[in-house]
Structure 1
Amino acid sequence: MATFSAVTRQHILQAIGEHDSRGRDDFLGVYGFAPDDGYALLHEGRVYEPRAIVGVAHRYATGRLGIADEVAVDAATAVLRKRGFDVTEPAVATRTPVAAARPARAPRSTTRTSTPRTTTRASSAAPERVAPICPTCSMTLPATGVCDYCG
């Protein structure tokens, strides 16, 4: 089970930044997380999946991804709240569901611009390679595979 004591607000903000740059579906797909039913991290008017954000923030903090099976939704929400973030819980039948509060995506423009796009996007199906970890000191191993600290 992953512990999240090393995860700081800055690590969470890094994970949010990666989420914003990749997009929700790619972010969840790369790291193997599913959407959290009813739970939502709210930050600067945007909605994020709490477990995925904390799992990736754990990777920024320790070099090891907190995989979906290790990140419980209650632990993720507790970490996020301790670090000063707003997390909503599943709506009760008398309240409005959280999914309805999510902002709708703006429709894509169908008009073409005169300059062609030259960027290529990687496939979202391929998961990101997780760096190997030293079994003794839990530090990320360099490309040589030999720990710089343990030898």
Structure 2
Amino acid sequence: MATFSSVSRQNVLQAIAEYDSRGSTGFLDVYGFEPFPGYAVVHEGRSYDLRAVVGVAHRFATGRLATSEEFASSTASAVAILRKRGFDVTEPAVAVRPAPVRAARAPRAPRTPVARATAVREAPSATCPTCFMTLPATGVCDECG
């Protein structure tokens, strides 16, 4: 994966100048790039293939041509660098689906209040008046008798 942080504005302008002198098809053929529809670098009212321009600008900056395969996961990085360097970049339009139309609902009948059962509290256990121990079911304290 190529990093494009070393590409300067001057490198991009140099690639654009070569793109202009060779023409679109010649520039793409010389460097082995396929047209990349959707993304374009816009400079002085003209559009340039994003991958080809950035790939060649990368070559001017580092001496190594960034290939089409390296753009697979780093197109967003290339777009960000170009914008940071002051270039306009067009991106493919995202198809927006219309929101589904829902049928109107019939009005609901008012709810009737429901009586809720209240919790029944358990009576406290009986305790021995002498030792304050809980009495067994027989009601006679096991300790005091």
Distance across 2 between alignment mates of 1:5 and 1:39: 19
Distance across 1 between alignment mates of 2:70 and 2:26: 20
Q: TM-score, normalised by structure 2?
A: 0.61
> Structure 1: which 5+ runs fail to align?
95-151
Secondary structure of residue in 2 paired with 1:47 = strand
What residue number does 2:80 align with? 78
> Structure 2: which 5+ runs fail to align?
97-145
User: Could you say what the CA RMSD is over the residues aligned between the two structures, in angstroms?
Assistant: 1.3
Letter in 2 for 1:47: S
Deviations 1:27-74 (A, max 9, x none): 111111111221111100111011111100000001111111112422
Once the 2 structures are TM-superposed, how far is the Cα of residue 21 of structure 1 from its aligned partner? 0.4
What residue number does 1:89 align with? 91
Identity of matched residues, %: 66
1:6-85 map, 5 Å: 6-71=6-71, 72-85=74-87
Distance across 1 between alignment mates of 2:75 and 2:37: 10
Deviations 1:79-114 (A, max 9, x none): 1111110001112347xxxxxxxxxxxxxxxxxxxx
Runs of 4+ residues deviating >3 angstroms: none
CA 1:2–1:93 in structure 2 vs 1: closer, same or farther (change >3 Å)? closer
Q: TM-score, normalised by structure 1?
A: 0.58
What residue number does 2:127 align with? none
Distance across 2 between alignment mates of 1:38 and 1:6: 24
Distance across 2 between alignment mates of 1:2 and 1:8: 15
Secondary structure of residue in 1 paired with 2:4 = coil
Secondary structure of residue in 1 paired with 2:86 = coil
What residue number does 1:139 align with? none
